[in-house]
Amino acid sequence: MVDNMFMEKPLISVITVVFNGEMYLEQAMQSVINQAANIEYIVIDGGSSDGTLGIIAKYENHIDSWTSEPDQGIFDAMNKGIKKATGEFIGMLNADDWYEPGILEKVKDKIAGFQGPIENRVIYCDHYWYDEDLSPGDKIKRKSEMKYWRGMTISHQAMFVHGSVYEKLGLYNLEYRFASDYEFFLRMIKAGVVFDKLDVYGINFRKGGTSTKYMNQSITEVSRIARKYFGLASKEYGLFLLTNRLPSMLGNLRILLTKVIGKNKTNRLRRLRRRLTTGFKHKR
């Protein structure tokens, strides 16, 4: 159980990294500062030139620490935030995504219920997938699963990592520009970090981030990482190819269709396919 001395510290540090993210940043920040849990909030800006700094200034009284300076990309910014964090557990929330109300309180309750040491643990939850182009106002439920051979089956934003894990394993590897979160995910698994599931949908992941915009580059990096950790002839790598190459091909087909018939017609075809294959979780 958590002792009184521990409870005096911020239990959870939340890090938001942003670069020219004025469109969605305020929604992300409000979803953090409106949480009831005892948190430390850190914002790392990459030297934005749009209205991002004005939004940060608007909520400055709710932010424990923030910086604005050039960086080497999203994972470098995350590493800067991790170095500043003082909470026992550390969560990442990108500037175009947002938390569900009360999720950090549920994470806190999960921590309080642990018996024995809380170090070397990750708490994770399910998340919603939000595609504004495809269906504004609708969210799709996505289960977080420990099927790590398929790729990043737990969004890094759906994970709350104990600080001791970063101390033991190091930070995000900047060798990987698009998929360093997957490399760190496999690093944790290989090291025997304990993953504890919180059965709630706590994060809203907006489609269109770096890994979506640079899909082919991201898949190439993930493939490299999978080969490194599993081996070229392994069953896991074979399963990775089966579950990742088809989505990559479909993504390239969508890009081609958009160029040929336009974005609106392509999205209509995507909606039709979605209705035929899955159900929407409708939530306005």
Give the CA distances from residue 157 to residues 5, 6, 98, 110, 271, in Å, rounded to whole numbers and listed in that order: 28, 24, 9, 17, 26
pLDDT at residue 134, rounded to an integer: 62
pLDDT at residue 256, rounded to an integer: 56
| Residue 15, strand partner residues | 42, 92
CA distance 47 to 70: 5
**Statement: residue 93 has pLDDT above 80:** yes
Please report which confidence band the pLDDT of residue 275 belongs to, taking 50, 70 and 90 as the band edges. low
**Statement: residue 211 has pLDDT above 60:** no
SS (H, E, C) the chain: CCCHHHHCCCCEEEEEEECCCCCCHHHHHHHHHCCCCCEEEEEEECCCCCCHHHHHHHCHHHCCEEEECCCCCHHHHHHHHHHHCCCCEEEECCCCCEECCCHHHHHHHHHHCCCCCCCCEEEEEEEEEECCCCCCCEEEEECCCCCHHHCCCCCHHHEEEEHHHHHHHCCCCCCCCCCHHHHHHHHHHHCCCEEEEEEEEEEEEECCCHHHHCHHHHHHHHHHHHHHHHCCCCHHHHHHHHHHHHHHHHHHHHHHHHHHHCHHHHHHHHHHHHHHHCCCEECC
pLDDT at residue 183, rounded to an integer: 97
Kindly report the average pLDDT of the chain as a whole number.
Answer: 85
**Statement: residue 16 has pLDDT above 80:** yes
pLDDT at residue 48, rounded to an integer: 98
Give the CA distances from residue 130 to residues 27, 65, 96, 127, 206, in Å, rounded to whole numbers and listed in that order: 14, 29, 11, 10, 5
Domain ranges for the chain: 4-210
The whole-number average pLDDT for the span 89-114 is: 95
Q: Which two tokens stand for residue 119?
A: 């170090």
Q: What is the pLDDT of residues 179-188, one digit of tens each?
A: 999 999 999 9
Give the CA distances from residue 191 to residues 25, 71, 184, in Å, rounded to whole numbers and listed in that order: 34, 29, 10
We find that the CATH architecture of domain 4-210 is Alpha-Beta Complex (3.90)
Q: Global pTM?
A: 0.82
Out of 8-12, 175-179, 251-255, give the one with best mean pLDDT: 175-179
pLDDT at residue 81, rounded to an integer: 98
pLDDT at residue 45, rounded to an integer: 98
**Statement: residue 284 has pLDDT above 50:** no
Please report which confidence band the pLDDT of residue 233 belongs to, taking 50, 70 and 90 as the band edges. confident
Please report which confidence band the pLDDT of residue 126 belongs to, taking 50, 70 and 90 as the band edges. very high
238: which residues sit within 8 A by CB, 6+ positions away?
A: none
Q: Which two tokens stand for residue 229?
A: 């950790």
Q: Which two tokens stand for residue 128?
A: 């919603």
